[in-house]
Amino acid sequence: MNRRQATVGTLLALAATLGAGGWARASHASHASRVAESRAGAARAPRLTVARLQYDGGGDWYANPSSLPNLLEAIRTRTSLPVEKEEARVRLTDDRLWDYPFLHLTGHGQIKLTDAESARLREYILRGGFLHADDNYGMDESIRRELARAFPDRQLVEVPRSHPIYHVVYDFPQGLPKIHEHDGKPPQGLGIFIGKRLAVYYTHESDLGNGWEDVGTYPNDPPSLHESALRMGVNLFVYAVTTPFQ
- Tens of pLDDT, residues 80-135: 999 999 999 999 999 999 999 999 999 888 999 999 999 999 999 999 999 999 99
The matching CATH number, chosen from 3.55.50.30, 3.90.1170.40, 3.40.50.12140, 3.40.50.10090, for 8-242 is 3.40.50.12140
* pLDDT for residue 77: 97
Type and span of the H or E element at 137 = none
* pLDDT for residue 10: 44
* pLDDT for residue 137: 83
Separation of first and last alpha carbons in the chain: 31
- More confidently predicted of 31 and 52: 52
* pLDDT for residue 142: 94
Percent of residues, the chain, with pLDDT higher than 90: 66
**Which of 7-16, 141-150, 157-166 is least confident?**
7-16
Kindly indicate the confidence band of residue 163, based on its pLDDT and cuts at 50, 70 and 90.
very high
Mean pLDDT of the residues in the chain: 84
Kindly indicate the confidence band of residue 246, based on its pLDDT and cuts at 50, 70 and 90.
low
Asked if residue 151 lies in contact with residue 192, where contact means CB atoms within 8 angstroms, the answer is yes
* pLDDT for residue 88: 96
Nearest to 135 by CA among 162, 105, 161: 105
Kindly indicate the confidence band of residue 152, based on its pLDDT and cuts at 50, 70 and 90.
very high
Q: How many residues does the chain have?
A: 246
**Which of 26-30, 97-101, 196-200 is least confident?**
26-30
Q: Is the dihedral of CA 223, 143, 47, 8 positive or negative?
A: positive
